[in-house]
Amino acid sequence: MRSTILRISIMVICVLTAVAGVQAAPPQREKQVVYGITPWTGKEYGGTFAPKGIDKIYLLADSNNVINTLETEVYFWPITNEYMANWFESREVVEGRLQILQDGKEIMVLERQPYNHYYPDGFYAGTSELLIGEEAEKKLQEYRDAIEGYWQAVSEYRQAYADYEQQMSEILKEVTETGKTYTEDELPKPPEQPTPPIWYATEVTEGFIVNLPVGEYVIRTIDDGGNVVEGTEKKLKVFDKRRSGIGYQIIPESKWTRPVQSDDATQILYMEGSRTMYLKAFYESEYNQHDFLKMTSLEQPLAGEGATSAYMWVHEKEVPSSIKVQVLQGGEVIKEAEYKPYYVKQTPGYALGYEIIEFDPEAEEFAGRRPSFEAVKLELGPGSYEIRAVDSSGRVLDGSVRSIRSINVVPMWQLYLLSLLPLAAGVVVVIRRRRMRGQTAKSVSA
């Protein structure tokens, strides 16, 4: 018995060791010629790549997309089921031009162009713009000048602040020794601290700028002699949106960190009782789900699989804050709200609560702060409503109409009470039968 247990234990240890060894084994890397792809997604520029195992690339029509022919180390990561590229240790540009064919005929040959990305609202906020050629060089130089000017201003500020502290020290000494008083207007003003530029421009690099109409193509990289570089021929599908509309991001007051989206005009929004919500409107487009996911996640072989007949909405640029949202009931406009900035204020104490208040840049409590978000505030009670977005001229934006229904949720205690009804009915039936039996027994005995 002991020997059997010992053998089983040894076998288990061997299996676990083998499994651990398999998990710990590093993935096999292979030098490959790939296409690095920066596709325009309708909202921002993404990033993906096409390794040897992927034979088709997807791009949006009539927009600038960046493709670059590179050589790097590629390996497959089974945990996330995707191809990975070792960009940091292995990245070489494959020289040549990008040849584009349609129906077997060459329609254009692209040379690499200098480009960069410009972020008007900062690298971590908002979307970027693709700048090409001289425009890219110019914007990068503007950014470098702005950064240099900022550090020069910082140096001047430090010196000015040192002078200010010296003056205040002398004034304090004089007040201590002589008792002289100063009014607020007589005291020196502290220097204003400079702020760094919010916007950002990346370094200029080179790539192929691809902008094509809807269609099926073939791309390949050719050298100076017109020869195709091995491993660079890929299919290319250029697709477009199916339709456009207005989407909403709905921020419930009670759960402001968990917004929900409303994409389709046929959707009905449901709420319980009276609710306060904040709405942000976006231009949106509907794309084929398979093609869109392939475009943004080409390195994942399973991305979009099984979704060739499905469609998805993508929120793109936010609608200008000059729009207003109207609330209708029975076909009549009952209220109209406009965009306003709001600030989420943490409440003191252990409850870890918060309140959403309107942001006033002139108020002292908001000094040095920025709004948490901008949105349209709606307060709705029980009933059925419609909402719609209108521009400054009062024109209703296409696809912006939504229906809202307020429902009364049955309290839990009523549901529990309802579940007891069958039991109560059974008790009544049992009691009634017992009484009938008792009456029958009395009649027989009589």
pLDDT digits (tens, 9 = 90+) for 164-188: 999 999 999 888 888 888 888 888 8
Average pLDDT in the chain: 86
Where b means 16+ CB within 10 Å and e means fewer, 419-436 reads eeeeeeeeeeeeeeeeee
- E strands present in 330-380: 332-346, 354-358, 373-380
Which among 283, 292, 274 has a CA at the least distance from the CA of 249? Answer: 283
Residue 253 has pLDDT above 90, yes or no: no
pLDDT single digits (tens) 68-98: 999 999 999 988 899 999 999 999 999 999 9
C-alpha 31/C-alpha 419 separation (Å) is: 67
Contact assessment for residue 217 and residue 108, using Cβ atoms and an 8 Å cutoff: no
Average pLDDT over residues 271-299: 92
The whole-number pLDDT of residue 1 equals: 42
Residue 299 CB neighbour total at 10 angstroms: 22
Give the confidence band of 411 by pLDDT, cuts at 50, 70, 90. low
Residue with tokens 């709405």: 279
Give 348's DSSP letter.
S
Give 64's DSSP letter.
-
The whole-number pLDDT of residue 13 equals: 42
Which among 236, 242, 211 has a CA at the least distance from the CA of 295? Answer: 236
Give the confidence band of 18 by pLDDT, cuts at 50, 70, 90. very low
Give the confidence band of 146 by pLDDT, cuts at 50, 70, 90. very high
Element spanning 60, H or E:
strand 56-60
The whole-number pLDDT of residue 438 equals: 65
Residue 374 has pLDDT above 60, yes or no: yes
Average pLDDT over residues 352-358: 82
Average pLDDT over residues 205-226: 96
The whole-number pLDDT of residue 434 equals: 72
Residue 15 has pLDDT above 50, yes or no: no
The whole-number pLDDT of residue 420 equals: 67
Give the confidence band of 9 by pLDDT, cuts at 50, 70, 90. very low
Q: Which of 138-142, 222-226, 331-335 has the highest mean pLDDT?
A: 138-142
Residue 269 has pLDDT above 50, yes or no: yes
Specify the long-range contacts of residues 305-313, CB closer than 8 Å, at least 24 apart: 311/242, 311/286, 311/287, 312/286, 312/287, 313/245, 313/247, 313/263, 313/264, 313/284, 313/285, 313/286
% of the chain with per-residue pLDDT over 90? 59
Give the confidence band of 14 by pLDDT, cuts at 50, 70, 90. very low
Residue 58 has pLDDT above 90, yes or no: yes
Average pLDDT over residues 390-413: 82
The whole-number pLDDT of residue 16 equals: 45
Residue 161 has pLDDT above 80, yes or no: yes
Average pLDDT over residues 133-148: 96
Average pLDDT over residues 211-232: 95
- Tokens coding 219: 């791309």
Where b means 16+ CB within 10 Å and e means fewer, 88-106 reads eeeeeebebbbbbbbeeee
Q: What are the backbone dihedrals phi and psi of residue 319, each rounded to the nearest 5 degrees, phi first?
A: -65, 140
Which one is predicted more confidently, 17 or 277?
A: 277
The whole-number pLDDT of residue 136 equals: 96
What is the bridge-based pairing of β-strands 65-77 and 205-210?
A: antiparallel
Give the confidence band of 17 by pLDDT, cuts at 50, 70, 90. very low
Q: Can you tell me whether residue 209 is helix, strand or coil?
A: strand
The whole-number pLDDT of residue 8 equals: 44
The CA R_g of the chain, rounded to the nearest whole Å, is 34
The whole-number pLDDT of residue 95 equals: 95
pTM: 0.78
Residue 5 has pLDDT above 80, yes or no: no
Give the confidence band of 48 by pLDDT, cuts at 50, 70, 90. very high
The whole-number pLDDT of residue 27 equals: 79
Average pLDDT over residues 120-125: 78
Beta-bridge partner residues of 215: 238
The whole-number pLDDT of residue 293 equals: 96
